[in-house]
């Protein structure tokens, strides 16, 4: 019997329709409401087995009486909600993410598998030591790798993020000065180009910040540093390579000058990806440096966290490293938690966090280090620097480097002077890149470059991707002059949301669901 149900299989040419859809969805891109608009306090996506319920046990008048207002949803509804939300996010897995100083490299899934081994994931930090020897061994191994790569004799794994690591390093400096009877030193020297966490950390500890300008070449000169040093200076905080993507050639002399003045050298390790395996920061004369495991060592950025910021120390500062510390006692590993009787770390400045640090990130980082090996780590740094310089030479005729065209490290800095005759700004260029399917580079940082664009491709990008990004950016820059600017100012148009009103968000903060605030916002 013949199947007579024919239907056309070649699309006919048809018209374009600009009507909004009924749902607001656009094909695979869905609009998604809040859980408070979708769920209710009676729904639940978790089943419990029956149990002998005792009314309120011994909670008495402390038992909760009023409803909380938390919405629940069934499991399929929850899955759909978060899958739809996820589709509104860009990610490294989807494309290049050239954010300067963020090191958005590939996040290997092997790391995820190993972090989830029950022998790590289901381990409590306060179990008896003999039941966690494998975890302590992992921490010891990671510590060893960090010290070898950086060439520093001391380390702590406990800081929870880079900024927390900065705090750790700076407290160690303060503790060391106090131990020397020089706790009265009250000034920290910080370059103008420093990341905001640097002066914020110094201020938290009661230090005054003395700012030093870099030269016209974007570099910190030892003369400028010497001019800022005196008996009142406790330390200097420098990033190397610096936030303009340049290696500080006078860094060894700077370290000598700092030590001669009786101060200490804190190095912000955010840009370690440029030099790991080729240069050891310890050889430069630094005293403390935090390492962002979520930058250099591939632990995932997770939409903003969690990070992990171990700190390495020089001989001078190592005794002051905080609790806890993993110590080897023959075949056994111990955790020194700072209790006097054990006496292993008498000068430790104290404790920075409950428990031992971001173990989940330690497993991931060590897996990455073992996978690459030190030869791979060195190769990764070389490829990172290669990629940034490739971008530099292919963009230097359309974008201006504020400190002149010269070799950069793992990131290249441009300013907006090539846009000065255009109505388009750095921001407009960034938004236009979004329409082209890229996450933009870092914009408006560092402050020393006007309308800064800081591009860090990382070693994870292929030449084809780099070429596509470069060609797109060139096209945008070309369009920026003349009539093209208006189009850039309207970008992005292809994203789930157009540009958002950040002024309204800050003038009338709505930070949580209260039921009818949507009406209130509409009335604005």
* CA gap 63, 342 in Å, rounded: 42
Rounded to the nearest whole angstrom, what is the least distance from the CB of residue 468 to another protein in the complex? Answer: 13
**At its nearest, how many Å lie between another protein and the CB of residue 68?**
5
Beta strand pairing call for 208-212 and 187-191? parallel
Pick between residue 34 and residue 482 the one whose CB is nearest to another protein: 34
- Residue 221 beta carbon to another protein: minimum distance, rounded to whole angstroms: 14
| CB distance 374 to 149 below 8 Å | yes
For residues 414 and 152, what is the distance between their CA atoms, to the nearest angstrom?
33
Residue (325 or 380) nearer to another protein, CB: 380
In the complex, least distance from residue 207 CB atom to another protein, rounded to whole angstroms: 9
Contacts of 38 (CB under 8 A, 6+ apart): 71, 73, 77, 81
Instruction: Single out the residue of 295, 322, 35 nearest to residue 173, CA to CA.
Output: 322
Q: Which of residues 15 and 60 has its CB atom nearest to another protein in the complex?
A: 60
Return d(Cα 261, Cα 1) in angstroms, integer: 98
Residue 180 phi/psi, 5-degree rounding, is -85, 0
Q: Which helix (H) or strand (E) holds 267?
A: strand 264-268
Closest to another protein by CB, 226 or 378: 378
Which residue has tokens 């002998």?
52
| Nearest CA-CA partner of 281 in 246, 312, 244 | 312
Beta-sheet pairing, 264-268 with 288-290: parallel
CB of 338 to another protein, least distance (A): 7
Choice between 482 and 505, CB closer to another protein: 505
Is 5 or 49 the residue whose CB approaches another protein more closely?
Answer: 49
Of 9 and 397, the one with the shorter C-beta distance to another protein is 397
- Which is nearer to another protein, 134 or 215 (by Cβ)? 134
Note whether 64 and 94 are within 8 A (CB): no
The Cα–Cα gap between 184 and 182 comes to: 5
Smallest distance, Å, CB 262 to another protein?
A: 19
Instruction: Report in angstroms how near the CB of residue 43 gets to another protein at its nearest.
Output: 5
Distance, in Å, from the CA atom of 67 to the CA atom of 233, rounded to the nearest integer, reads 56
Least distance from C-beta 151 to another protein, angstroms?
7
């Amino acid at each position: 019997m013949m199947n007579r149900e024919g239907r056309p299989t070649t699309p006919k040419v048809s018209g374009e329709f600009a009507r909004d859809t009924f749902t607001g969805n656009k094909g695979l891109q869905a609009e998604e409401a809040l859980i408070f608009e979708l769920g209710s306090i009676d729904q639940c996506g978790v089943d419990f087995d029956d149990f002998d319920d005792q009314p309120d046990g011994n909670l008495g008048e402390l038992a909760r009486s009023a409803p909380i207002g938390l919405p629940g949803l069934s499991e399929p509804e929850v899955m759909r909600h978060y899958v739809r939300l996820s589709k509104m996010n860009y990610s490294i897995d989807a494309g290049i993410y050239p954010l300067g100083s963020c090191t958005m490299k590939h996040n290997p899934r092997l790391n995820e598998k190993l972090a989830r081994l029950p022998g790590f994931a289901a381990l409590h930090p306060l179990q008896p030591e003999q039941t966690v020897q494998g975890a302590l061994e992992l921490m010891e191994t990671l510590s060893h790798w960090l010290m070898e790569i950086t060439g520093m004799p001391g380390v702590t794994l406990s800081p929870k993020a880079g900024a927390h690591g900065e705090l750790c390093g700076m407290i160690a400096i303060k503790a060391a000065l106090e131990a020397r009877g020089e706790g009265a030193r009250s000034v920290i020297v910080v370059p103008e180009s420093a990341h905001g966490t640097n002066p914020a950390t110094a201020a938290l500890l009661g230090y005054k910040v003395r700012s030093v300008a870099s030269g016209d070449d974007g570099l910190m000169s030892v003369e400028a540093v010497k001019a800022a040093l005196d008996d009142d200076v406790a330390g200097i905080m420098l990033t190397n390579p610096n936030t303009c993507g340049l290696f500080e050639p006078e860094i060894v002399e700077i370290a000598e000058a700092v030590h001669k003045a009786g101060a200490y050298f804190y190095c912000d390790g955010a840009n370690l990806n440029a030099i790991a395996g080729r240069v050891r920061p310890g050889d430069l004369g630094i005293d403390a440096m935090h390492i962002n495991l979520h930058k250099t060592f591939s632990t995932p950025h997770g939409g903003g966290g969690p990070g992990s910021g171990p700190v390495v120390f020089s001989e001078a500062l190592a005794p002051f490293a905080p609790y806890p510390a993993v110590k080897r006692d023959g075949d056994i590993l111990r955790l020194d938690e700072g209790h006097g009787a054990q006496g292993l770390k008498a000068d430790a400045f104290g404790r920075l966090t409950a428990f031992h640090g971001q173990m989940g990130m330690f497993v991931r980082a060590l897996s990455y280090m073992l996978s690459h090996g030190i030869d791979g780590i060195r190769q990764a740094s070389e490829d990172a620097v290669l990629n940034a310089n490739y971008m530099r030479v292919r963009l230097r005729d359309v974008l201006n480097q504020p400190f002149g065209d010269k070799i950069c490290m793992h990131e290249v800095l441009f300013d907006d002077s090539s846009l000065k005759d255009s109505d388009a700004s750095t921001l407009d260029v960034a938004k236009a890149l979004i329409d082209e399917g890229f996450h933009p580079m870092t914009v408006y940082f560092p402050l020393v470059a006007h309308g800064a664009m800081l591009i860090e491709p990382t070693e994870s990008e292929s030449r084809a991707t780099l070429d596509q990004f470069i060609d797109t950016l060139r096209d945008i820059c070309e369009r920026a002059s003349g009539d093209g600017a208006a189009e850039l100012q309207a970008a992005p148009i292809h994203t789930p949301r157009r540009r958002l009103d950040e002024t309204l968000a800050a003038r009338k903060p709505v930070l949580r669901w209260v039921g009818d605030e949507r009406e209130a916002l509409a009335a604005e």
